[in-house]
Structure 1
């Protein structure tokens, strides 16, 4: 026992072994996480909306909204939901489903309060049922700007 206490070499290899174990562990974890993100059941893709016009004036408008995936490809079967932001919509909430080209056509009539010079209309997306899509981040808002002649 006394011989073990006097041995100063026992700790020499420990830091090197810890560093090697840490590097191997991090590399293994990275490899496993990379494999998991490739699994179709766990991967989700964020949807975005690209309005035909992102700046309009108060009044009646027909707009095409293109719902796209992260690669910019159109997403059929999604539902675009248009609602009031800081600008009001006469209709309250307007919904439209995207067709084969990922386009949803909506009719909206935004308005601004008397003291407002601009406001926004918010567009959300409900992904197609049973798909691997989500809409967690904010989408492009449509800016409503009071024209000079109003």
Structure 2
């Protein structure tokens, strides 16, 4: 008796259960891999932000204390802060490094253009190399208002 494969209908009988088993095993393995990857701390990146004090200042010479913080509000030491003109004008770019408390003091002299009532000074952060910090999102700005 000769058998031909094209007439054999038994091959389909075990296929659906084998596919279900392969799918369940694959999803379980994917879940284990994802939990392993999320537990690896070296792959996680922490975004930093700045907190200027005061948040609002007038034109002219002023000292601004800027704190670099992580998302939990903890200070970040060893970061470099760069203050530059936004819609308010600075004579030059000013930089400072944060101490152990995450704070740095910048001496700024912002000015506004004619008929300009307010403007902003922007801050950029170069995070310390010793941590997994990044500064990719926009930071809090310093509001500059026209002196009355």
TM-score by length of 2: 0.82
Q: 1:70 to 1:12 in 2, by over 3 A?
A: same
SS in 2 for 1:110: coil
* Structure-1 separation of matches of 2:55 and 2:27: 45
Number of aligned pairs?
Answer: 146
* Structure-2 separation of matches of 1:11 and 1:28: 26
Cα displacement (A) at 1:146: 2.0
Q: 1:5 to 1:38 in 2, by over 3 A?
A: same
Cα displacement (A) at 1:11: 6.3
| 1:120-139 matches, cutoff 5 A | 120-139=120-139
Cα displacement (A) at 1:37: 2.9
1:10 aligns with 2:7: no
- Unmatched 5+ residue regions in structure 1? none
* Structure-1 separation of matches of 2:137 and 2:121: 16
Q: Which residue of 2 aligns with 1:88?
A: 89
RMSD: 2.4
Q: 1:131 to 1:84 in 2, by over 3 A?
A: same
Could you report, residue by residue, the CA deviation over 1:113-133 in whole angstroms, capped at 9, with x for unpaired residues?
103222111111111123211
Q: 1:145 to 1:42 in 2, by over 3 A?
A: same
TM-score by length of 1: 0.81
Q: Which residue of 2 aligns with 1:98?
A: 98
Cα displacement (A) at 1:77: 0.7
Could you report, residue by residue, the CA deviation over 1:45-71 in whole angstroms, capped at 9, with x for unpaired residues?
111111112222222111111111122
* Structure-2 separation of matches of 1:17 and 1:57: 73
